[in-house]
Amino acid sequence: MKTRLTAFGLTLAIAVAGGEARAQSTMTAAEILFEAGRAAAGRGDYREACAKFGESQRIDPAVGTLLNIADCSERQGKLVVAWDNYTQALRLLAATDQRLAYARKKRDEIGVRLAWLAVRVKGGSPVGTSIVLGGQPFGASSLGVELPVDPGEVTLTVNVPGRRSVVQRLRLVEGEHARIELGPGEEMRPKKGSGLRTTSWISLAVGGASVLTGALTGVAALSRRSAFSGHCDGDRCPSSMTSDVNAYNTFRTVSSVTLVVGGVLCALGVTGLVVFPTMPDAAAAAGTLPHAWVGLGAGGLQGSF
C-alpha cells in the first residue's frame, strides 16, 4: 500500500509539473509574439504588428494586447476594429488601472470619427435574411439598427432567401449617420429548358442503350434461327429443335421492342437538345411538350409540335 501511495504521489507531481511547463511555454509564445508585434509597429509595419498581436491575444488574452491591437488598427484606418478593442479593454480594466483614462479617451475620440449606417429591406425581412457591411456579416436582427462603419467607401450586400443578392456601394464621411432602404433582389428562377435538356440527355443515353440491346438480341435471334432452319419444313420443326425455336422467338420479340423503344427515346433526346432549351417553362407545366409513349410492340411521340 505504501508503495502504491508513493507511486501515485510521484505521478501527481509529474502531472502538475507537466501542466506548469505547458502553461509557461504558452506564456512564452504569447510574449514572443507580443514583442514581435511591438517590433513591427516600431518599423511602421502596422499590418504585421496587428497580426502578431492578434495571435498573442489568441494564445494568452491580455488587456495590454487589446490596447496594442486597437492602436495598430487605428493607424491602418480600421476605426471600427480599434473602437471595438478599446471598448473591450474598458470592460476589463480595473477602476484603479492607469490605462483606464487613456483607453476611454481613445475610444471616445474614435467613436466621433466613425460613420454609422442603418439598413432596412423593403417588404420586410424573411427568415434567413442577412447583410454584409464592410466585410462583416450581420443577421436579420441587425436590420434597422445603426452599425459602426469605417468612413470612406463601403460595400453593402443584402441577401434575402430565394432572391439574388443586392450590392450597393456607399461613401460615408466621418461622423455621418445614414439610413438606407433596399429592395430585395430579383427572384431566382431556374433557367428555361435546363431541366428539359438534362432529361433529353438521359433519354438519348437510355435510347442508345436500348438500341444496342436490340441489336445484340437481334444477332442472337439470327444465330438461333440458323441452328434450326435447316431442320424445319416451313413452320414445322422437330421436337429436338423446340428450345432453339423458343429462344429465337424470345430474342426476336425483345429485339423488336427494344429497337422501337430505343429509336423513340433517341429521337426524343435529339429533339429535346435542339428544341427544348428555347421552349418556355409554361409549356412544360401545361404538358404540351413532346413526350414518348410506349405500347405493346409500338411507341411514338405525343404533344404539341
pTM of the model: 0.55
Q: What is the pLDDT of residue 26?
A: 57
CA distance linking residue 149 with residue 134, whole number of Å: 7
- Are the folds of 2-112 and 115-182 the same? no
Confidence of residue 82 (pLDDT cuts 50, 70, 90): very high
Check whether 273 has a pLDDT greater than 80: no
The residue that leads in pLDDT, 294 or 12, is 294
Q: What is the pLDDT of residue 194?
A: 55
Q: Which CATH superfamily is domain 2-112 in?
A: Tetratricopeptide repeat domain (1.25.40.10)
For the chain, the average pLDDT equals 78
Mean pLDDT of 235-249: 68
Mean pLDDT of 58-66: 94
Q: What is the pLDDT of residue 136?
A: 85
Q: What is the pLDDT of residue 286?
A: 46
pLDDT digits (tens, 9 = 90+) for 101-132: 999 999 999 999 999 999 988 887 788 888 89
pLDDT digits (tens, 9 = 90+) for 137-195: 888 888 889 999 999 998 999 988 888 888 989 999 999 999 988 888 888 775 555 56
Mean pLDDT of 191-212: 74
The residue that leads in pLDDT, 31 or 4, is 31
Mean pLDDT of 23-28: 58
Q: What is the pLDDT of residue 118?
A: 92
Among the ranges given (13-17, 30-34, 57-61, 201-205), the one the predictor scored with the smallest mean pLDDT: 13-17
Domain residue extents for the chain: 2-112, 115-182, 194-302
Confidence of residue 90 (pLDDT cuts 50, 70, 90): very high
Third-level CATH fold of 115-182: Immunoglobulin-like (2.60.40)
* Best mean pLDDT range from 21-25, 41-45, 177-181, 203-207: 41-45
Q: What is the pLDDT of residue 10?
A: 32
Confidence of residue 223 (pLDDT cuts 50, 70, 90): confident
Q: What is the pLDDT of residue 249?
A: 75
pLDDT digits (tens, 9 = 90+) for 32-60: 999 999 999 999 999 999 999 999 999 99
In 191-204, which positions are buried (b, 16+ CB within 10 angstroms) versus exposed (e)? ebbeebeebbeebb
